Amino acid sequence: MIRPALAALCVALALPAQAQMPAAQQFGAVGTPTSGRAEAIGFYSRGCATGMVRLPESGPTWQAMRLSRNRNWGHPETVKFLQQLSAAATQVGWRGLYIGDIAQPRGGPTPSGHASHQTGLDADIWLMPPPSLSLNATERERLDFAPVTTGTRVNSRWTPAHHALLRAAASDPRVDRIFVAAPIKIAMCRGATATDTPWLQKIRPAAGHDAHAHIRLKCPAGSRFCTPQEPTVAQLSKGGSGCDATLQSWIEPQDPAPAAPARTHPRQYMLADLPAQCSDVLRAR
Ligand SMILES: [Zn+2]
């Protein structure tokens, strides 16, 4: 039996312990969204969200994947966009889309997997025509990504349909940018003309995106505390498609080889590091 004095001490210790718990663990432990108005709060890699809605696990043209992660929550605009994009995928000859992580029910940092996806405006789509839209929960956990790149080039899994799908996504005014592996962007630059510039500049090279594309939406109207992302330096200086030498340098060996960056751990945010509104979001019933 715990004596009262000891019990009081345990409570006293527990409270600061929770305050010191990384924000990712706290947001990761909340299974439901807040009710009320939808707002993306803060920055894509440092924020949270209210009024999120869940992408239904299955629809006529999509399936949400890795359901056990409970990350199929997004700003209503994001969920609507994904449903529409999955319908557009049928125009390129696919059954629809497999949709990966969007965000946790209240956004925030995740205990694993992403630096961003915190405001309900980032979503991963698989770069793979779905072989079936009737996968069961176990299949959705186990099905593997199939990369469309090998080394510095796209491989035979990359098709004109992939190109058309990403072009459709990037042409949507709600989309701020789309991250794909550099060889994908290089493949999409091939044969591009000036008329492709507006959408092509939204396709940005990013390591690790060889089997999925990461779509980032702009701050939606009504999200008062949402921080937009500045255009990248390349876009500002060239005002162009991003199909330039900088892009090529992503896949070329550097001479001399750059010094290996100091090994750092991803930043682990505490609640106090996030916008102040995120503490209320976490506490809200
Ligand atoms: Zn992503």
Distance 78 CA to ligand 1 centre (A): 13
Give me the pLDDT at residue 8, please. 45
Distance 178 CA to ligand 1 centre (A): 9
Report percent pLDDT > 90 for the chain.
74
DSSP string, 92-138: GT-S-EEE---B-TT----SSS-SS--SS-EEEEESS--S-S---HH
Minimal CA–CA distance to 107: which of 67, 57, 70? Answer: 70
Q: What tokens does 19 get?
A: 């305050």
Distance 98 CA to ligand 1 centre (A): 13
Distance 34 CA to ligand 1 centre (A): 23
Neighbours of 139 (CB within 10 A): 12
Q: What is the average pLDDT across 205-225? A: 96
* Residues forming beta bridges with residue 149, ordered by sequence position: 154
Give me the pLDDT at residue 252, please. 79
Q: What tokens does 253 get?
A: 């060996």
Distance 65 CA to ligand 1 centre (A): 13
Distance 46 CA to ligand 1 centre (A): 14
CA–CA distance, 40 with 62 (Å, rounded to integer): 24
Distance 117 CA to ligand 1 centre (A): 7
Model confidence pLDDT, tens digit, residues 164-174: 999 999 999 99
Between 18 and 118, name the one with better pLDDT.
Answer: 118
Between 186 and 19, name the one with better pLDDT.
Answer: 186
Model confidence pLDDT, tens digit, residues 120-152: 999 999 999 999 999 999 999 999 988 999 999
Give me the pLDDT at residue 238, please. 55
Distance 11 CA to ligand 1 centre (A): 38
Distance 8 CA to ligand 1 centre (A): 44
Give me the pLDDT at residue 149, please. 97
Distance 100 CA to ligand 1 centre (A): 8
Give me the pLDDT at residue 26, please. 96
Distance 73 CA to ligand 1 centre (A): 13
Q: What is the average pLDDT across 249-274? A: 71
Whether residue 18 is predicted with pLDDT greater than 70 in this model: the reply is no
Task: Count the residues in the chain.
Answer: 285
Distance 124 CA to ligand 1 centre (A): 5
- Output the average pLDDT for the chain: 89
CA–CA distance, 208 with 118 (Å, rounded to integer): 19
Beta strands at 46-50 and 39-43: parallel, antiparallel or unpaired? antiparallel
Q: If you search the block for the tokens 């005002």, which residue do you land on?
A: 239
Between 215 and 233, name the one with better pLDDT.
Answer: 215
Give me the pLDDT at residue 13, please. 46
Distance 176 CA to ligand 1 centre (A): 14
Distance 235 CA to ligand 1 centre (A): 21
Give me the pLDDT at residue 231, please. 75
